[in-house]
């Protein structure tokens, strides 16, 4: 009887041999193509585990298809692929977990040995963001015993009591003195304050608190951006040297340039509702235009591909809202800057008839609807300039999101001076309204049909309103 059992088992195993070999080959190919062998097991994550599951399912499905074509799956039980998949996933994930646990344990052992020979340091973190989480993970990985995090300080009071990587938010930066005294009562002396946010995002009162603590105690205030090699941001903020800017529309605001970014102190809460309404109009309008103009965009893309080739889209970094850089997208209208011998081609030879038509009709700017949808731009606003064309003394035009079209574009556009564009944009920022935006939309349609035309009255109005004098680099506006 026992002999008959073993004979039956041997026959079953032999019958499953083709499926087993096919499964092994399929798994080897699928796992190799999927890159499972390239992931260090000690660094495996949830994403790696999901990858193992997906690739296992694909390998089993492929093995079933090939086996079905070979012998119609006659010897393969229905439950076998399920058990096979569960076994493969379990072994691979458990092995990765064991490797990760063993590696972490070895790291902690070596860290404890080294930390026993080094002094301990207590730090306080300022900022609630992904950089804070990264810093905490770095401490946990490289110095869990030597560096102790006393807590986190936030800009907003509603973050109090929350935690990042099991480290609590103790309060706001303005409460720094009280928090330090409270920690001292508990026997915790802070040696260093690590600021994980950029200096231009800190409120002036928060920055003053940090400077006061650094001057009046032995606590070192350290900006993490400097340690990461992003220099100049913190220094520019600590010693304000920016020029005072024009006020924002319908509110009292101070705009100053800090490391290339505009720092604004907003006091009128009603302005937030106007900005929100304009943003809703931008999103709805951009989505509608993107849907309606998709056929035209496809034709333009085809024309660009035939005229200048790939890539179809050209991008440039421009200063956006408050001077923060963003990528502005356009259809390409010029050929490559260098020939096959890497010789520079003059700009007038790179342009083509198709490109000139696209620029004339503004069809090259259709990809900027994407900029509007993601919040980098508005449908109507000051046109974003190149960083070299944005003078710091006219930074007030950066108090609004840049637009696809704007007041300067419909009153002269490309045929007026840079100075006049700047003052027209600032005039728009100080007088923006939905009625004015509607007038710009109408004038934009006229500009597309009939081309750029200078509006002398609008330029004079902007100059008189701002009390501006034309600097030496301004080109002359044609006489009436």
For 307, the token pair is 């005229």
Q: Which of 113, 133, 165 is the C-terminal boundary of a domain?
A: 113
Q: Which of 56, 90, 113 is the C-terminal boundary of a domain?
A: 113
Q: Which domain, by its residues, includes 396?
A: 270-466
434, part of any domain: yes
479, part of any domain: no
The tens place of each residue's pLDDT in the chain, 480 residues long, gives 445 444 565 666 776 788 888 888 988 888 888 877 776 766 677 778 888 898 899 988 988 888 888 777 777 787 888 888 899 889 988 888 888 778 777 766 665 555 454 557 889 999 988 889 999 988 888 887 788 899 999 988 888 888 888 888 999 998 998 899 888 877 788 989 999 988 777 888 888 888 888 888 888 898 888 777 765 444 443 333 333 333 333 333 445 544 455 544 444 444 666 778 889 999 999 999 999 999 999 999 999 988 888 888 988 888 888 888 888 999 998 887 766 666 777 777 777 788 888 988 889 999 999 999 999 999 999 999 888 778 888 888 888 899 999 999 899 888 888 888 888 999 998 888 889 999 999 999 988 888 888 888 888 888 887 764 444 333 333 333
Query: Quick count: other Cβ atoms within 10 Å of Cβ 167?
Result: 16
Q: Are residues 400 and 306 in the same domain?
A: yes
**Residue 336 CA: distances (Å) to CA of 333, 355, 386, 428:** 10, 13, 20, 36
Q: Are residues 340 and 194 in the same domain?
A: no
258, part of any domain: no
Q: Are residues 49 and 191 in the same domain?
A: no
Sign (positive/negative) of CA torsion 108, 112, 115, 117? negative
pLDDT given at position 152: 93
Query: Quick count: other Cβ atoms within 10 Å of Cβ 113?
Result: 10
Q: Which of 85, 113, 141 is the C-terminal boundary of a domain?
A: 113
CA 134 to chain centre: 16
Q: Are residues 108 and 25 in the same domain?
A: yes
Give yes or no for a contact between 260 and 200, defined as CB atoms under 8 angstroms apart: no
Give yes or no for a contact between 37 and 48, defined as CB atoms under 8 angstroms apart: no
pLDDT given at position 69: 83
pLDDT given at position 432: 87
Q: Are residues 193 and 291 in the same domain?
A: no
Residue whose tokens read 């700009």: 347
pLDDT given at position 420: 86
7, part of any domain: yes
CATH number at residue 183: 3.40.50.720
Q: Are residues 109 and 129 in the same domain?
A: no
**Residue 480 CA: distances (Å) to CA of 283, 395, 446:** 40, 30, 21
Q: Are residues 41 and 154 in the same domain?
A: no
CA 6 to chain centre: 64
Q: Are residues 137 and 224 in the same domain?
A: yes
264, part of any domain: no
The span from the CA of 337 to the CA of 328, in Å, is 19
Give yes or no for a contact between 327 and 316, defined as CB atoms under 8 angstroms apart: yes
361, part of any domain: yes
Q: Are residues 347 and 378 in the same domain?
A: yes
**Residue 54 CA: distances (Å) to CA of 33, 199, 392:** 13, 44, 53
Give yes or no for a contact between 398 and 320, defined as CB atoms under 8 angstroms apart: yes
252, part of any domain: no
The span from the CA of 334 to the CA of 347, in Å, is 8
Q: Are residues 61 and 193 in the same domain?
A: no
Label the pairing between strands 147-154 and 167-172. Answer: parallel
Sequential DSSP letters for 374-394: TTS-EEESPPPPPGGG--GGG
Q: Are residues 125 and 226 in the same domain?
A: yes
259, part of any domain: no
Determine the Cα angle at 71 with ends 65 and 76, to 5°.
75
**Eight-class DSSP state of 288:** H
pLDDT given at position 118: 53
What burial letters (b/e) apply to 366-382, b meaning 16+ CB within 10 Å? bbbbebbeeebbbbbbb
Domain count for the chain: 3
Q: Are residues 133 and 231 in the same domain?
A: yes
């Amino acid at each position: 009887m026992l002999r008959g059992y073993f004979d039956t088992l041997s026959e079953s195993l032999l019958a499953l041999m083709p499926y087993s070999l096919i499964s092994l080959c399929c798994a080897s190919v699928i796992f190799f193509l999927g890159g499972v062998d390239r992931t260090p097991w000690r660094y495996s994550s949830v994403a790696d585990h999901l990858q193992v599951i997906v690739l296992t399912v694909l390998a089993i499905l492929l093995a079933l298809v090939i086996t079905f074509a070979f012998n119609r799956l006659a010897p393969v039980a229905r439950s076998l692929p399920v058990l096979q998949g569960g076994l493969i996933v379990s072994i691979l994930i458990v092995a990765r977990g064991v490797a990760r646990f063993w590696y972490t344990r070895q790291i902690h052992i070596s860290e404890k040995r080294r930390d026993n020979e080094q002094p301990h340091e207590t730090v306080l973190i300022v900022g609630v963001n992904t950089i804070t989480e990264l810093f905490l993970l770095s401490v946990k990985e490289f110095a869990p015993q030597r560096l102790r995090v006393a807590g986190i300080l936030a800009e907003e009071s509603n973050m109090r009591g929350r935690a990042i990587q099991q480290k609590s938010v103790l309060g706001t930066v303005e409460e720094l003195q009280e928090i330090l005294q409270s920690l001292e009562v508990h026997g915790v002396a802070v040696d260093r304050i690590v600021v994980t946010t950029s200096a231009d995002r800190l409120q002036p009162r928060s920055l003053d608190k940090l400077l006061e603590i650094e001057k009046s105690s032995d606590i070192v205030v350290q900006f993490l951006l400097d340690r990461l090699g992003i220099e100049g941001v913190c220094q520019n903020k600590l010693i304000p040297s920016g020029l005072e800017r024009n006020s924002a529309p319908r509110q009292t605001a101070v705009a100053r340039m800090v490391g290339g970014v505009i720092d604004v102190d907003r006091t009128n809460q009603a302005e937030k509702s106007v900005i929100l309404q304009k943003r809703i109009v931008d999103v709805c309008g951009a989505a509608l235009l993107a849907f309606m103009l998709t056929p035209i965009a496809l034709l333009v893309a085809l024309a660009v591909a035939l005229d200048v080739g790939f890539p179809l889209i050209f991008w440039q970094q421009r200063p956006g809202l408050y001077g923060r850089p963003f990528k502005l997208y356009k259809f390409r209208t010029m050929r490559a800057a260098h020939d096959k011998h890497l010789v520079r081609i003059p700009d007038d030879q790179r342009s083509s008839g198709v490109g000139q038509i696209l620029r004339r009709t503004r069809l090259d700017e259709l990809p900027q609807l994407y900029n509007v949808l993601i919040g980098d731009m508005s449908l109507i606003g000051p046109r974003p300039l190149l960083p070299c064309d944005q003078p710091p003394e006219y930074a007030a035009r950066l108090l609004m999101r840049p637009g696809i079209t704007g007041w300067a574009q419909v009153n002269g556009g490309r045929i007026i001076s840079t100075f006049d564009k700047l003052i027209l944009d600032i005039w728009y920022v100080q007088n923006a309204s939905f009625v004015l935006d509607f007038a710009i939309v109408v004038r934009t349609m006229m500009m597309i049909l009939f081309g750029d035309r200078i509006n002398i009255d609008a330029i004079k109005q902007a100059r008189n309103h701002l009390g501006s004098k034309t600097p030496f680099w301004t080109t002359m506006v044609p006489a009436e």
